[in-house]
Amino acid sequence: SITGDVRFPTSLEQHGSDAMHTEPDYSVAYVVIETDGGHEGYGLTFTLGKGTEVVVCAVEALSAFVVGRTLQEIVGDFRAFYRLLTSDGQMRWIGPEKGVIQLATAAVLNAVWDLWARVEGKPLWKLLVDMEPRKLVSCIDFRYITDALTEEEALGGCFSSHEEMLRDGYPAYTTSCAWIGYSDQQLKEEITAVSGVWTRNVKVGADLQDDVRRCRLVRQMIGPDNTLMIDANQRWDVQEAITWVSHLAEFKPLWIEEPTSPDDILGHAVISKALAPLGIGVATGEQCHNRVMFKQLLQASALQFVQIDSCRLGSVNENLAVILMACKFHVPVCPHAGGVGLCELVRHLILFDYISVSASLQNRMCEYVDHLHEHFKSPVVIRNACYVPPKDPGYSTEMREESVRRYQYPQGEVWQTLQATRGHRT
């Protein structure tokens, strides 16, 4: 198992900036699993720069549970292996199943899923779609969620042809047109630069009058009939969120994303109830720690859009649990993908959701940001504002060796140059 701290200086151009994360450097803790048989699996988890080294340390701590095992030993009882990583009698004290240790768990398990799909010669979404239902469900840890979804309930599902996805792709929405640090001119250029009918997500929360102005600008540019969403990235208290969003209701946003603390389930429920008469839903999940929190958000009717994240939850295993719970509660899944590598990974999960679970595109779309795809060997392809299903075997997690070498922190040549010439803070 090889780990790396790979960081991209996106803060220099304000890519990824929002009301809470004003100068992010999109980064990954990168994992490579090598086998005696010559196969490799690649995994990652997403960070914003500082602290990536902490996640790398956690990955290295978890590596002891991986090294020396065969792939068949792991996937033959994947639920047991998931619990091994998340429930060790000593390691779980620094979680459990949350924070840095869960990010590290995601990185390790993402590498395992990539390895499994490569060995089977299938893209991950196809591995999941083709999997016998009981085998698929056996990958999920149902502990703590059986009051919302039992294993037997999870076995039922909708199954649709994947031909539609191969032909048309999965609808995307974009956030990269309206990062909060962008000037009005840059915002206009980003909106006009993309082809196709895009749904736009606008960052808000720093200044109300500025939000009104920017939302008005975007609404005028995209017209009255195209969908607009707003995203506060956890900026507000509960009542503040209700008041602030009410002032933006004239722009008819479909949702307010992350209006308050990601841990405040009851707060989200209050906001959801207050905004319902305005026709504005609540979307959240990119910093939701685990399946248990998603369970409570669903039980409390605290969200109208579930935003899974391929690297925040415990990899595919835990995302499967959330996708299935969302289906039972009739809440659409609209994944978060605003970060390096997230678009590459989450497209597999949303294809599985459509083909094997929901069979619906109503109020469903997957986030897309137009940054850093060139660093991956199987980069995202967008056609007519839709994700094109990947065909390469694996989970699309492998980065280009040259990119890993140049952006390795702090010894990579990009960072050596930045630190010498600009004194970059990361």
Tell me the C-alpha distance between 61 and 46, whole Å. Answer: 18
- Inter-residue contact 314 to 82 (CB < 8 Å): yes
> Do the strands 228-231 and 305-306 form a parallel or antiparallel pair, or are they unpaired?
unpaired
Listed in sequence order, the DSSP H helices in 300-412 are 315-328, 342-352, 401-407
- Inter-residue contact 187 to 217 (CB < 8 Å): yes
* Residues ≥6 apart with Cβ < 8 Å to 424: 9, 12, 415, 418
Eight-class DSSP state of 389 = P
Cα-Cα-Cα-Cα torsion 12, 408, 403, 64, nearest 10 degrees, comes to -130
Tell me the C-alpha distance between 16 and 244, whole Å. Answer: 22
Q: List, by residue number, the catalytic residues.
A: 203, 336
Tell me the C-alpha distance between 385 and 241, whole Å. Answer: 30
Tell me the C-alpha distance between 269 and 253, whole Å. Answer: 18
Q: What are phi and psi of 228, to 5 degrees?
A: -130, 140
Length of the chain: 426
Q: Extract the tokens encoding 181.
A: 């640090």
Tell me the C-alpha distance between 349 and 354, whole Å. Answer: 9
Cα-Cα-Cα-Cα torsion 166, 168, 170, 173, nearest 10 degrees, comes to 150
